[in-house]
């Protein structure tokens, strides 16, 4: 409990700096590129186009799902993935990226994953607005199920802030851990239901195991909002699995911070 109180107090003390650093991180990411901030949209658009072309044109699949064009179904799942994709390896490397804050000044390590996540969340909000606009263009107006979006964004933010704190601490101790996470990103993508619906998997054990992956739960949740028109509480097993995985991640993050925070400045 003392570690939890310390993390909360550090966030309270550095509240203003968190948002300033998040803005700085966002500017730093796209500074120096000719297109600037446009890359935040161009890169996801290119990814979507490749998968749309591969499945709709190349493989001649991509049939409408639940009355929605396959492109929109695909977009709904990829929208949170663009955020999570950045934070899986990015979270693991965030403390090393900003090691000057730790080694050259007394800046709390626990705050770094938070402002990095806020930076990515800003980009996510822009992509979310574009997604809603595309659904409107296709004739699908927002409805009551859109009220769930803040919940799924909060779930995503909390999960990956805890992940970044845990993975970031371990990556400072061992660069091999960060390299391992980078190599696992592709596997996580294909096993997370981004391009398929995990609820269509016949094996109930495999389906349940996949629901312990927060990437799966959140991508499915976005599709419930935009495509399937279902409430988050309708699948109690899914929410239970998410709760267990979140609790485990929080415990690991707190453990890593308690054990390693004093060693991080010397290691870096």
pLDDT tens digits, 172-211:
888 888 888 888 888 888 888 888 888 888 888 888 899 9
SS3 of residue 68 by DSSP: strand
With a pLDDT cut of 90, the percent of the chain lying above it is: 39
pLDDT at 59: 54
pTM: 0.89
pLDDT, tens digit (0-9, with 9 covering 90-100), for 134-158: 899 888 999 999 999 999 999 999 9
Burial (CB count within 10 angstroms: exposed 0-12, middle 13-18, buried 19+), residue 43: middle
pLDDT given for residue 255 in this prediction: 93
Q: Flag whether pLDDT at 233 surpasses 70.
A: yes
pLDDT of residue 201: 87
When the pLDDT of each residue in the chain is averaged and rounded to a whole number, the result is: 86
CA–CA separation, 89 and 111 (whole Å): 18
Residue 11 · residue 114 · CB < 8 Å: yes
pLDDT, position 202? 87
CA separation (Å) from 254 to 3, 111, 169, 261?
Answer: 7, 13, 10, 10
The pLDDT of residue 170 is above 60: yes
Sign of the alpha-carbon dihedral angle for 108, 110, 116, 119: negative
- Please write the tens of the pLDDT for every residue from 26-77: 777 766 555 556 666 777 777 777 776 776 665 556 677 888 888 889 889 9
Q: How far is CA 9 from CA 13, 17, 261, in A?
A: 6, 14, 15
Each domain of the chain, given as residue ranges in start order, spans 2-267
Give yes or no for a contact between 91 and 113, defined as CB atoms under 8 angstroms apart: yes
Q: Does residue 4 register a pLDDT over 60?
A: yes
pLDDT at residue 128 greater than cutoff 60: yes
């Amino acid at each position: 409990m003392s570690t939890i109180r310390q993390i909360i107090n550090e966030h309270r003390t550095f509240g203003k700096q968190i948002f300033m650093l998040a803005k700085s991180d966002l500017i730093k990411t796209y500074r120096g590129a000719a297109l600037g901030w446009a890359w935040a949209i161009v890169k996801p658009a290119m990814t979507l186009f490749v998968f749309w072309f591969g499945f709709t044109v190349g493989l001649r699949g991509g049939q409408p799902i639940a009355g929605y064009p396959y492109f929109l179904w695909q977009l709904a799942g990829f929208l949170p993935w663009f955020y999570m994709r950045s934070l899986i390896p990015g979270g693991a490397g965030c403390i090393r990226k900003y090691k000057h804050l730790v080694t050259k000044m007394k800046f709390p390590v626990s705050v770094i994953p938070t402002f990095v996540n806020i930076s990515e969340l800003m980009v996510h909000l822009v992509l979310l607005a574009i997604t809603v606009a595309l659904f409107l263009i296709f004739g699908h107006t927002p409805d009551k199920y859109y009220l769930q979006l803040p919940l799924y964004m909060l779930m995503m933010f909390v999960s990956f802030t805890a992940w970044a704190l845990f993975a970031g601490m371990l990556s400072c101790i061992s660069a091999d851990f960060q390299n391992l996470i980078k190599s696992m990103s592709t596997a996580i993508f294909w096993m997370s239901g981004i391009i398929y619906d995990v609820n269509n998997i016949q094996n109930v054990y495999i389906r349940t195991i996949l629901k312990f992956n927060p990437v799966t739960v959140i991508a499915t949740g976005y599709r419930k909002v935009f495509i399937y028109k279902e409430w988050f509480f309708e699948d109690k097993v899914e929410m239970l699995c998410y709760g267990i995985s979140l609790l485990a991640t929080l415990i690991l993050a707190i453990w890593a911070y308690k054990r390693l925070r004093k060693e991080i400045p010397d290691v870096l």
